[in-house]
Amino acid sequence: MVEVLQVLSYVAVAAAAILAYEVIRSFVKRRLKRRFEKDLQAFLQTPDLYSQHFKFTNKFVIKQQLLSDPEINQKILEFATRERKSALEVRQKVDAYIEEIVPNFNMLSYYKLGYGVARGFVHSLYDPVVDVERRRLLDTLPSRAAPVYLMNHRSNVDFVLLAYILAGRVSVSYAMGEWARVWPLEHLFKSFGSYLVRRGYKEDLYHKVLERYVQLSSRHGVAQAIFPEGQITRDGHLLPPKLGLLQFLAGVEADPHFDRDLTFIPVGVNYDWVIEDHNLVAESEGRPEKRGIGKKLQVILIGPFVFFGLLIVNGVRFLVGRLKLHGYASISFGQPIVLKEWARQQGVDLRTLSYDERKPHIKAFADHALKHVGAAVPATPVTLLSVAILDSGRTAFTRADLVAAARKARDELQSRGVRIVVGKKFEKFRHALVELAKRRESRERGAELDEVEAALVAAEEAEHLVDFATDVLRRNKILRRRHRMYHVRTERSNFLRYYANSLAHHLGRRYPILNPQARPMAEAITNTAGVAGLTR
């Protein structure tokens, strides 16, 4: 009898524990749900939020829309006839392509998980700076816009940085390359609304499915972001545009039911430190890029640990006050370009042209748009100082030498309308220049005195810029300091060229990456002759 009572008491305790757990779980779940719904309602009422109802459409519905698309069905019949397969087999192939491409957007994933991780990641590495004046250009978007953000591609952080900067305004749908087709990245990015693209895949059936999905998104005004260069730059230069996705996007203009303005927003991004610079410079020097299953396994097994390990380490450094950021990560925007307005100026009606007839016009538009993207790329302290060092033709400098070279490079860039990125540490100089401008307008004192003070402020700002940039370059082992002299490390000189090349298109010159075997001889000639042109 006692044993029975003991068993019953254990059962009663277990039941009470389970009941308490369920009550607490239900309470916490209800509270969290309420809080999220409240946050969501507050977010959806943001005045300048760009609404994208199509993103919330069930994936099954989108799938059925594509499977019933006349152009896709026509391509299925053509492919089946050419490859001697049944229409059912080809339709199953298309079904698999749609499953692979179409995202499954989740607002909780994007704005709670994605935004939080992006914010922590960006701020643990950089001091992010946005060109506020040019960001206001986004307010000029047409009310019925189908926005497409065109961005230069310097790092895989580009995705995270733009999404974080625009999170208060819009959720951006990216075209992700095959590198993201690994677990759990594929499911994660799809929940953020991004769609996957097979780079270099030639099959016309796949391209038709991708084309019609991209156009379906544009018809519903989904904000998309693409990299017109098609890949990350290896040597720092802007690359020629690829036409694939641009051609697909432009095809929506031929749809008689398309009543939006396909609008391209140029986005320029630049960094004081690119986290992949070691691999990128190595590839530009001729060392082969690692591909294949081994590389994918490395991304799967090591990547998440590196990512979250970096967050944890930098989080601890932040808490103890020892976090040193890797300089600035900056984004700037260009004037939005409405495709049909550009075509009208060229005397072209894209609605009446076939796919092949549109191609040369889209090529011209891509070149035009990439120039605007390039014009929006800002100059950060490290990239500016890299230009100054290479243009000087020297490898050893005093601090005064670097300040003089930096001022020269800064003046040249500013004369060409390039935005110079400075953050919180430079606010006092900006405020001083603003005050000087106000005095000039009010004519409180002589113009000569204002010019002297402006020169002093500019000189002090250049000194701080050099100190800031040399600190980052020394930590990345590109410069070293010895006996009050700064020396370019011979084995890392290509990194200077890589960072300088981000501004090369502004200056109309190039800084080619030198072959590791040819570098010592080329630099010996440069040091002896003092010819700056050899470093370009």
Q: Give whole-number Cα distances, 22 to 18, 109, 315, in Å.
A: 6, 25, 34
Q: Reduced to 3 states, what is the DSSP secondary structure of residue 127?
A: strand
Can you give the pLDDT at residue 301? 57
Same domain flag for 356 and 439: no
Same domain flag for 448 and 517: yes
Residue 440 near residue 450, CB atoms below 8 Å: yes
Q: Is residue 24 part of a domain?
A: no
Mean pLDDT of 31-42: 65
Same domain flag for 435 and 467: yes
Residue, of 124 and 82, whose pLDDT is higher: 82
* Residues 436-466 pLDDT 10s: 555 555 555 445 545 555 555 567 778 888 9
Q: What is the 3 state secondary structure string of 31-100?
A: HHHHHHHHHHHHHHCCCCCCCCHHHHCCHHHHHHHHHCCHHHHHHHHHHHHHHCCCHHHHHHHHHHHHHH
Average pLDDT, the chain: 81
* Residues 227-273 pLDDT 10s: 999 889 999 999 999 988 999 999 898 888 888 999 999 999 999 99
Can you give the pLDDT at residue 326? 87
Token output for 488: 């370019």
Burial of 23 (0-12, 13-18, 19+ CB in 10 A): exposed
Token pair 């704005």 in the structure block, residue: 111
Same domain flag for 289 and 428: no
Same domain flag for 438 and 318: no
Q: What are the beta bridge partners of residue 269?
A: 331
Q: Is residue 249 part of a domain?
A: yes
Q: Is residue 34 part of a domain?
A: no
pLDDT tops 70 at residue 417: yes
Q: Which of 376, 402, 420 is the last residue of a domain?
A: 376
Q: Is residue 36 part of a domain?
A: no
Q: Specify the range with the lowest mean pLDDT, choosing from 3-7, 287-291, 441-445, 507-511.
A: 441-445
Q: Which of 322, 342, 376 is the last residue of a domain?
A: 376
CA distance 327 to 272: 5
pLDDT tops 50 at residue 4: yes
CA distance 430 to 435: 9
Same domain flag for 481 and 367: no
Can you give the pLDDT at residue 176? 80
CA distance 118 to 130: 16
Q: Is residue 17 part of a domain?
A: no
pLDDT tops 90 at residue 536: no
Q: Is residue 503 part of a domain?
A: yes
What sign results for the dihedral spanned by CA atoms 52, 57, 63, 69?
negative
Q: Which of 348, 376, 404 is the last residue of a domain?
A: 376
Residue 511 near residue 535, CB atoms below 8 Å: yes
Q: In the structure, what pLDDT confidence band is assigned to residue 167 with cuts at 50, 70 and 90?
A: confident
Q: How many domains does the chain have?
A: 2
Same domain flag for 321 and 292: yes
CA distance 128 to 301: 29
Residue, of 78 and 197, whose pLDDT is higher: 78
Same domain flag for 397 and 370: no
Burial of 454 (0-12, 13-18, 19+ CB in 10 A): middle
- List the domain range (segments joined by +) for residue 271: 53-376
Q: Is residue 40 part of a domain?
A: no
CA distance 370 to 108: 34
Can you give the pLDDT at residue 104? 82
CA distance 68 to 79: 16
For residues 226, 231, 236 and 237, what is the CA-based torsion angle, rounded to 10 degrees?
-80
Q: Specify the range with the lowest mean pLDDT, choosing from 105-114, 129-138, 232-241, 401-410.
A: 105-114
* Residues 296-333 pLDDT 10s: 556 555 656 666 666 676 667 666 665 678 899 999 99
Category of 355 on φ-ψ map: left (φ > 0), alpha (ψ -120 to 50) or beta:
alpha
Same domain flag for 482 and 354: no
Task: Answer whether 0.85 is exceeded by the pTM.
Answer: no
Can you give the pLDDT at residue 2? 60
Q: In the structure, what pLDDT confidence band is assigned to residue 200 with cuts at 50, 70 and 90?
A: confident
DSSP-derived secondary structure letter, 379: B
The CATH number assigned to the domain holding 100 equals 3.40.1130
Can you give the pLDDT at residue 381? 94
Can you give the pLDDT at residue 533? 32
Token pair 């506020």 in the structure block, residue: 132
Same domain flag for 235 and 275: yes
Same domain flag for 337 and 464: no
Mean pLDDT of 198-225: 90
Q: Specify the range with the lowest mean pLDDT, choosing from 124-133, 228-237, 431-440.
A: 431-440
Token output for 238: 């802007």
Can you give the pLDDT at residue 277? 92
Same domain flag for 353 and 469: no
Q: Is residue 422 part of a domain?
A: yes
